[in-house]
Amino acid sequence: MTMTRKEFFGTVVSWSIGALGLTTLAASTGCGGSSSTSVDAPASGANCVQNGTNVTIASNHGHVMMVSKGDVAAGVDKTYDITGTASHSHSVTITAALFAKLATNMSVMATSTVGNGHTHDITVVCV
């Protein structure tokens, strides 16, 4: 199986979080069944409001999600359609609480809605 650079980075971040024993905080679920958590560790040297984010979609097969610095600055609940070039759709809701974490340069994680019998874990990291 070939892994993209973004998938590799997401895996490294996930492993690092687990290795450091950092806790995750459950956040509210958006309509449609996606769930969200935040990673309780600030990203070193990153700034979501000034530089935007990188998004990693686990087990990706054509889905795309972009969280702009404008979205972070607005700080209100937003639901993204991550269909991209995949043959099916998923939605991911980033809540105002998660945007507040991003505004303080913390990474956040969410899970997409079910599409075609599966979900995707999403990691949003400040750059």
Please report, for the chain, the start and end positions of each structural domain, with discontinuous segments joined by +: 5-126
Q: What is the pLDDT of residue 13?
A: 46
**Better pLDDT: 79 or 15:** 79
Give, in degrees to the nearest 5, the angle at Cα 15 between 33 and 88.
35
Residue found under tokens 């024993």: 21
Instruction: Give the pLDDT score at 5.
Output: 53
**pLDDT at residue 45, as a whole number:** 84
The angle subtended at Cα 73 by Cα 27 and Cα 59, nearest 5°, is 50
How far apart are the C-alpha atoms of 106 and 118, rounded to whole Å?
27
Q: What is the pLDDT of residue 39?
A: 54
- Within the chain, what is the greatest distance between any pair of CA atoms? 38
Among residues 120, 81, 75, 121, which one has the least CA distance to residue 101? 75
pLDDT digits (tens, 9 = 90+) for 34-93: 555 555 556 578 999 999 999 999 999 999 999 999 999 999 999 999 999 999 999 999
The model's pLDDT over 76-112, given as tens digits with 9 standing for 90+, comes to 999 999 999 999 999 999 999 999 999 999 999 999 9
CA separation for the pair 75, 8 (Å, rounded):
28
Q: Report the alpha-carbon distance of residue 59 to residue 42 in Å, rounded.
A: 25
Q: Does the pLDDT at position 17 exceed 80?
A: no
pTM > 0.85: no
